[in-house]
Structure 1
């Protein structure tokens, strides 16, 4: 097996590097830790997102346009499907006690977001209005200036072998 220690970085693509730097440094408070000028005229910037991991962005003046509903979520939670090989969303780990304050900070900054903490459980709908013993993660969803769906997530319990109870689906079934 490989000696994987965790996520080093995820590399995304932005439409405007200055706007992206402002959002990730000024609103999310992630320090810009490395910048690279690419030989083809593009840029590659890295932000420290904690725990030794980074969120990185590529930018190219002539990059293809955004493709909501294909390469990114079109409208959460109503149109959340994305294409094979796309990134659906990026979740940042946060203490559960900090989620409500995160909502207020996003609101104050004018960032589009869910207006309540979402309680994910194993019910048919996958969410619950109220907190209960079956809620395994609580989340706040929002988007960055590039339309990338982001999440602040707090696990509310440790997983056990009983939490793995579904067979993997296949198109051939």
Structure 2
């Protein structure tokens, strides 16, 4: 039996974990010229920042003051969204852009294919202290569905609901507790 093709529109964002948000912001905005378009303060003291990497795609970084150190070869989310932290330098998840009108159907289609959906409903991300709402409201800026591939890689279908505005960059980037020298590789 052939499964109907899901209607993704490419990569929405790739979410990585950084060791120092200020260092990361400087590199991506200054060295690579990618505009910082959205900043999010997480309820656990972490941050989630988004850069426009062109073509309608975003590159995102998480930062947590207590993130595990870099661990090459060990990088996967334990239980998203309840335990989303991964190690510095890891890939946290890949988000595929999808029309909002396709999100609800994607949950049913994934479940019908035997795919476990982390939260069996569409997550409404907003700027509230918790970062999400059970209900749709005008402050919701992206809606998401989370699931894993067979390798344990966290994937997301994401529908951004509005263009980013200057007031979406509202948080100063956090610094590492013990800053590493500029350009010095981790573990050097």
Band of TM-score, shorter chain: 0.5 to 0.7
Tell me the residue number matched to 1:138.
143
SS at match of 1:89: strand
Tell me the residue number matched to 2:85.
81
State the Cα RMSD in Å: 2.5
Which is greater in Rg? Answer: 1
Structure number with higher relative contact order (C-alpha < 8 Å, ≥ 6 residues apart) = 2
Gaps of 5+ in 1: 1-25, 31-48, 54-66
TM-score, normalised by the number of residues in structure 2: 0.56
Gaps of 5+ in 2: 13-70, 179-188
CA distance in 1, matches of 2:172, 2:11: 33
Instruction: Quote how far apart the aligned CAs of 1:82 are.
Output: 0.2
SS at match of 1:98: helix
Tell me the residue number matched to 2:112.
108
Counterpart mapping for 1:126-165 below 5 A: 126-165=131-170
CA distance in 1, matches of 2:157, 2:115: 13
Instruction: Quote how far apart the aligned CAs of 1:101 are.
Output: 0.6
> Post-superposition, which runs of at least 4 consecutive aligned residues in structure 1 deviate over 6 A?
none
CA distance in 1, matches of 2:148, 2:11: 23
CA distance in 2, matches of 1:167, 1:72: 27
Tell me the residue number matched to 2:61.
none
CA contact (8 A) 2:126 2:140 kept: yes
CA contact (8 A) 2:11 2:96 kept: no
How many pairs does the alignment contain? 115
